[in-house]
Structure 1
Amino acid sequence: MDDFWLQLLFALAMLITTLLAGLAPLKLLTAIMSNGRTTHKVACSLSLLSCFAGGVFLATCFLDVIPHVNSNFRMFNKNSSLNTVYPLPELLFCVGFFLVYLIEEICSRLISGSTPTSQTSSMSSIAESLNKTETVTLQSITFTVAMSFHSILEGLALGVQDDRMAITTLFISLMLHKGIEAFSVGLQIAKSNSQQIKIAALTIFIYSLMTPIGSLIGVYIQEQFDLITEIFDVILIRDDCPLKYDQPRFMNAFQSASIRPVLKEGLIFVLEALAVGTFIYVTFFEVLAEEKANEFSNIVQLFAIIAGFSVIALFQFVEILVTGTESH
């Protein structure tokens, strides 16, 4: 099978897996709400599930994404002859964190600034309710964008692979944790849009598309790099090419194609490091802090967080056993 069709098949498999896992909590939430249970029980169940999701995001960030970014940085630092001891990955983590923080604050101010300040008591309560709804919607959008960005980068990392064994290994690595991650993302989206089922389903569908889209973008980038390299190889080996004699350094740079992997490694490293910042923000600000502030038992919530964390920790261990390598 050609590598392109293999990538396409894997992209389709990821789309189906992510979509099914993402829609499952929406179906679960709909069933809970239509069961006629008390509001308190429903809210408690959702809180514990959100804490479980928070544990999943926490483990994904610190056991999967950050080690992978650090590994990419070591490779880029060596291949590019940068040889810096500056904590560049950590700097980019913080840049990504502050970027998402800034975007959410700007959007919050724009939303709150559009609400009139002088109102009657009844109008004030209505405006407060609308503001709360808009804030929840904004948090849902921020969360979805952050997770979608991370998913695109995961797909991109798969798409730029040009070796069949590397493609298969990375696909297995992604699939081992993508299902539980998609379930957790779907839960957060469903919880934020519990009264708007169609919007929640559409948001989950868009999120599910991100990894396959990233994979196809990666395939396109890889093919363009290969095409450019082949063109220069053909041109530069011709005897009548002036660059062959007048600019040998130019010819050698393209014939060796050493710039290609370095640029690719550098680009992926920067984007993934920025994505870590969004992951940290989502985990601690959008999920864990919000659940800790509610009225439910914090110790029970802690156990739910540990459970979610343990699932991903176990998947990471299994992944190493299956693939024989560190995570993607």
Structure 2
Amino acid sequence: MDITTARAISMLTLGLGAFFSGMLPACFSEAARQRHPLLLSCLLCFGGGVLLSTSLVHMLPETRERLPQYSELTLCLGFFTVYLVDELSHLFYRSENHERDIPVGEQTRLLPRDHDGEMREREGTSELCHVSHAEPCNRSSSSVVGLLSALFVHSVLEGLAIGLQESATQVLLLLAAVSSHKFVVGFCLGAELCENFPSRACAHVLCIALFSAGSVAGIGIGAGLETVNSLKDSIAVPVMQGLAAGTLLYVTVSEVLPRERARWHERKRSAGLLQFLSVGLGFGLMYLTTIYLDHDAE
């Protein structure tokens, strides 16, 4: 097999595989998602663990290899950039629906008497909590845009690495490495899009198509470049990688996990533990995948 065929196979595999994995969560109907809300929450927490591991275990070390003195700084810059964009979007587009000034006592009085047991459980749980569990605004498009942008940049860089390989064997080996986690991340992105935009199918398809096109574009760019050596030494690649890692870190710890914890913490006592296990499972899966791929690369 020549290298051109291997690159074409890589483009088709990553493009179609990422698209179908990202569209898979949308195949479940809204009624099905409402029947199993805790399962959906655990799935989103699993995705949060995957994104957290992708940021800190996969992307940050790659940045540190090329930019050892400023790798953590670029990650923080990516974090604060999305933080600023998120706050600016709330400043200019905040609606009255985001105000949550109703006391909990007034809300619980509206519950029927057959929910008294659940109400007492919530009140008991609230007394044990030392932080507020008001659900944050989860319809902010800035977090979704930040997540999609970071994953797109990361996909382009991964595709670029595949396109720059000099033999068909190296291309196929790196294809297997990238596919092993890209499809998982694509599924998690699709689940997050379903959560934020449940009734906007066109937006979901567009976002997943953009995510899928990242690796395809990267492979094409890498294959068509003539100045390969100068590109490999460019400082722009690790900088973009670090910024993308910071973006994923913000989306995970400031958007996904706080939202899901707040939504379930006072509804079911065991939900928090299930969410924790889901985050740990997602993180561990990506960690083991990264370690395995790094071991094979050596």
TM-score, scaled to structure 1: 0.70
Identity of aligned residues (%): 26
Superposed CA deviations along residues 269-312 of structure 1, whole A, max 9, x for unmatched, are 22212211112112211212222222242121101111111221
What secondary structure, in the 3-state scheme, does the structure 2 residue paired with 1:274 have? helix
The residue that corresponds to 1:23 in the other structure is 23
Distance 1:45 1:136 in 2: 23
Distance 2:233 2:66 in 1: 12
What secondary structure, in the 3-state scheme, does the structure 1 residue paired with 2:198 have? coil
The residue that corresponds to 2:260 in the other structure is 291
The residue that corresponds to 1:307 in the other structure is 281
Match of 1:94 among 66, 69, 76: 76
Match of 1:60 among 54, 58, 75: 54
Match of 2:242 among 264, 273, 278: 273
Note if contact 1:48-1:304 (Cα within 8 Å) is conserved in structure 2: yes
> In structure 1, what residue type is equivalent to 2:297?
T
Distance 2:231 2:39 in 1: 47
Distance 1:180 1:281 in 2: 19
Q: 1:8 to 1:42 in 2, by over 3 A?
A: same
The 5-angstrom pairing of residues 141-152 of structure 1 reads 141-152=145-156
Distance 2:206 2:223 in 1: 26
Instruction: State the 4+ residue runs in structure 1 displaced beyond 6 angstroms.
Output: none
Note if contact 1:157-1:218 (Cα within 8 Å) is conserved in structure 2: yes
Superposed CA deviations along residues 196-248 of structure 1, whole A, max 9, x for unmatched, are 2232223222221112112212223x33x16xxxxxxxxxxxxxxxxxxxxxx
What are the ranges of 5 or more consecutive residues in structure 2 without an aligned counterpart?
Answer: 101-135, 266-270
Distance 2:143 2:167 in 1: 39
Q: CA deviation at 1:110?
A: 2.4
Superposed CA deviations along residues 104-157 of structure 1, whole A, max 9, x for unmatched, are 222332223xx6xxxxxxxx55x979xx99943333223222222222222222
Aligned length: 258
Q: CA deviation at 1:94?
A: 1.1
Distance 1:89 1:303 in 2: 29
Note if contact 1:97-1:274 (Cα within 8 Å) is conserved in structure 2: yes
Structure number with the bigger relative contact order (C-alpha 8 A, sep ≥ 6) is: 2
The residue that corresponds to 2:131 in the other structure is none
TM-score, scaled to structure 2: 0.76
Q: CA deviation at 1:320?
A: 4.4
Max Rg structure: 1
Superposed CA deviations along residues 16-75 of structure 1, whole A, max 9, x for unmatched, are 1101111111113x2xx334x8x4x5332221111010111112222221222222336x
Superposed CA deviations along residues 178-202 of structure 1, whole A, max 9, x for unmatched, are 1111111111111111122232223
Distance 1:260 1:136 in 2: 39
What are the ranges of 5 or more consecutive residues in structure 1 without an aligned counterpart?
Answer: 75-86, 116-123, 227-258
Note if contact 1:10-1:171 (Cα within 8 Å) is conserved in structure 2: yes
Distance 1:172 1:153 in 2: 16
The residue that corresponds to 2:126 in the other structure is none
The 5-angstrom pairing of residues 42-61 of structure 1 reads 42-61=36-55
Note if contact 1:26-1:201 (Cα within 8 Å) is conserved in structure 2: no
Distance 2:167 2:251 in 1: 34
Distance 1:282 1:150 in 2: 15
Q: Alignment RMSD, CA only? A: 2.7
